[in-house]
Homo-oligomer: A and B are copies of this chain.
Amino acid sequence: MRAKEPAGRAEIARSCGLSVQAVSNITEVLENDGLLRVVGQKTGVRGKPATQYSINPEGAFAVGIELRPDALICAILNLKGECIYKARVALDNAAPDMAIPAIESAISLAITTSNRDRVQLLGVGIVMPGPFGVSSQGAHDDAILPEWDGVNIQQVFEDALKCAVIVENDATAAAIAERVTGVAASIDTFCFIYFGTGLGLGVITDGHAQRGAFGNFGEIGHIITQAGGTQCVCGNNGCLETYASRLSAKRSLEEHGINLPDGFAMETLLADENPVLLDWIETASTHLSQAISILENIFDPETIILGGAMPDTVIDAFIARLNLPVGSVANRENRTIARVIGGSSGRFTAAIGGAAMIIHNTTTPSLALYN
């Protein structure tokens, strides 16, 4: 439905295998609920002109929250997937009794500011760094929220917010965002490599997100790309994350006396062709190439998207420097999409992804993916 818009009822019926009558009934309900609206008639062809229906962007909205150790990011997406609100709230700590009220008031503020009615709230998508429930034999990641260990996060938020809640990690949320509004709008099977503090992987197969048996799918940051390499916080050596993450860039630059407060600074350094940064990018690309090659071989995706909290220019620099094997299942003739492409990026990507999950869920024929 979302793909080709606007569309007539008979057209919708053909594309989703229902009878015209069924579509007619459904559109009637959706129109009454304000989720669909008539946007004209289709003329120019024979036959009775088709009444064209379109998603009503104002019909409903979803809130996305990214919870991090030091801050809270909030975004609102309308039904069409357009971002109509963004905000960041600093946090002393992210423990439940601090974070939950902060989230509640952030959502209230967001809804008021963007002039919406809470009745039209489809749900809240919460993005939190994983992994969850893992043995603490290895040291813990900086981005982790230990206070939430053992908490049934979805339940807690559903009780607190009194609406539908989905909890996911940043990479999966970003992947879904890409499908709802981004470059993957018409791609059913793809991988998304997410640059956060560390590195995450979100995979969509046939339009559905992969979650793993324990919700820890996609810990790609800790696959080892260099045996006996740099020591990682996880206790192993040579993890991808130690070469190709924001944190690793920060470290490399600091070793040469360069401070890296934020992504903007990185963009500037790249524009200035800073040799230390270029060197880091070169190394990171080598390791990313390995990871991408593994993903291609395992998932056979239509494409692999790179995005997240990393400047677009840096992501483009990675892609330009990738060195992917030629003898791969991904190296088909007649490709329509490149093997690796850039996706959405920026500080708000994960929060937008959170909201996108809700939109995706209400839009996609759910085969019990969540619930």
Which residue numbers of A lie inside 8 Å of B, CB to CB? 131, 133-135, 137-139, 188-190, 201, 205, 210-220, 222-224, 227, 232, 234-236, 290, 293-294, 297-302, 325-329, 331-333, 367-368
Report B-chain residues with C-beta under 8 Å of the C-beta of A294. Answer: 223-224, 294
Which of A236, A297, A326 has its CB near the most chain B CB atoms (within 10 A)?
A297
Cβ-neighbour of A328 out of B211, B222, B300 (below 8 A): B222
Which of A188, A223, A224, A293 has its CB near the most chain B CB atoms (within 10 A)?
A223
The distance in angstroms between the C-alpha atoms of A223 and B325, with both chains bound, is: 10
Report B-chain residues with C-beta under 8 Å of the C-beta of A219. Answer: 297-298, 300, 329
Do A215 and B326 touch (CB < 8 A)?
no
Number of copies: 2
Report B-chain residues with C-beta under 8 Å of the C-beta of A131. Answer: 329
Which of A217, A218, A327 has its CB near the most chain B CB atoms (within 10 A)?
A327
A188 in contact with B213 given A134-B329, A223-B298 (CB within 8 Å) = yes
Do B327 and A218 touch (CB < 8 A)?
no
The distance in angstroms between the C-alpha atoms of A9 and B294, with both chains bound, is: 47
**Can you list 13 pairs linking A and B with CB atoms under 8 Å apart?**
A134-B329, A137-B327, A137-B331, A138-B326, A205-B211, A212-B299, A214-B329, A219-B298, A222-B327, A224-B293, A235-B326, A236-B325, A236-B326
